[in-house]
Amino acid sequence: MVGRLRSLEENVAYSYDSNPWINGAISLRITRFVGPVEEIIARCEEEGVDKGKAYVQRISSGPRDEVSEGVKKGFGHRMGGEMVTPRILIVKPTRFEALALWDKVNTFNGIRLSGLERSLRIQRPPFATIDKESKEQQDEALPIYEELLKRGVPEEDARYLLPEGLITTIIFDASDNQLRYVAKLANSFFEKPGWSQLERMQRITKGMRKLVKEELGFIPNEEGTSTWDFYGEFEGWREKVGYGKRGEQRDKNLFSWVVNLDLDGSLSMYAQAVRQRQGLVELEPVESIARRATYVIPKTFDRQAKKEYKKIAKLATEIQINKLENGDPTFPYNMLMGQKARAKFHMVAANAPYMITHRFCGTAQWEIRERIGYKSFKELEGLAEVGPRCITLKECWESPKAKCPIRHEWTKLSREEIISRLRTKTIEDLVIE
């Protein structure tokens, strides 16, 4: 092995030092290919710096970018370029813990980390799970999940059936000048009420702190500003964050005000929303989400799918409530990705055009497009620089295979028609009594 692979906490946290271009290629390949991390590292090392560099450039450059001779234009996945770093940190949280970690990484919290997560799209079930209850839930859901895919339901909708206890992989930039932010992220959960009872989260944050101490010589006593309460009721949280209240804005200069949205959507949607580093998602207490027992029903689910979904949601609710009543802190692992949570979303308006473009374009998953992309668009309606690319750039970057509903028609549509066609106007909830 050319680089240096260190186990910080066995099976859950590693660091890897190598050539920055090799690390960039490793980071991208982990998110785009299945297989053990060690095998992907070995492959990238074998291919070497030049191939790694070409791979990162192709994935990171976009259709409108000016490129050097010999560089192939690619997909515009900018994060690939940010992972060209001498050291990466690899952690293996559950989907729920990944949601919590990403929720801290944003400008509001002063945690300016670059990172990537392995997508469920490139993995085939059965997925690795954290506990026997999550496995039981997955076993119950997979036959329906597979049948939905055969009937043309998008994976992004079918996964609403799956539990948050699935295990994923995150890669962070852990170069020397980022170690302060690695520490801030770890400190935000290490030995904190509720979170300290999740063994995997504590081992991951312990490994992160170990890396910082080894490389920096000390662990900065800092953490993120926002908090996600593990235990608590909705009413107290609502008063604290001002959910349901609108702040007055003096003007609509993009650099002088903050967009504040009330959100109510699935954990699957929030898994995307918290990755928006220019915004802050303040989620209601984890306990409150579980006790509410409400689930988002995708529009692609027919009557039979809804019936099966209700059975799976009922099982998930029973497991969560039983664990809560018995003082078992692992109940979040048994929440479904389609389980509903309320949140306050904050974003400096100057960052809204970029966010809206990426969360409102046609292939963006329908729920984040409707609940965040559209709602943010309405806050800034009338500004020419706000909207999907077909409005703002008069161009479409979607691939010919993309599922954008106006992929072949946008040139013939007015601004109003484009927005209307991209909306998902009817959203149904499933409440488990």
**pLDDT above 50 for 115:** yes
Please tell me the distance from the alpha carbon of residue 121 to that of residue 426, in angstroms, as a whole number.
26
Burial category of 392 from C-beta neighbours within 10 Å (exposed 0-12, middle 13-18, buried 19 and up) = middle
User: pTM to 2 decimals?
Assistant: 0.94
Crossing angle between the packed helical segments 303-325 and 132-150, to the nearest 10 degrees = 170
The CA radius of gyration of the chain, in Å to the nearest whole number, is 21
Q: CA torsion sign, 251 to 252 to 256 to 259?
A: positive
CA distances to 238, 281, 432 from 285, rounded to whole Å, are: 10, 12, 19
pLDDT at 384: 76
pLDDT digits (tens, 9 = 90+) for 40-88: 999 999 999 999 999 999 999 988 888 888 888 777 788 899 999 999 9
Percent of the chain at pLDDT > 70 equals 97
How many alpha carbons lie under 13 Å from residue 355 in its C-beta half-sphere? 28
d(CA 143, CA 145): 5
**Cross-strand bridge partners of residue 13:** 9, 91
Mean pLDDT value of segment 379-386:
79
Q: Which two tokens stand for residue 65?
A: 């970018």
C-alpha–C-alpha distance, residues 210 and 122, integer Å: 31
Q: What does the DSSP assignment read for 50-63?
A: HHHHHHHHHHH--T
Residue among 190, 171, 183 nearest 212 (CA): 183
Q: Which residues pair with 171 in a beta bridge?
A: 90, 116
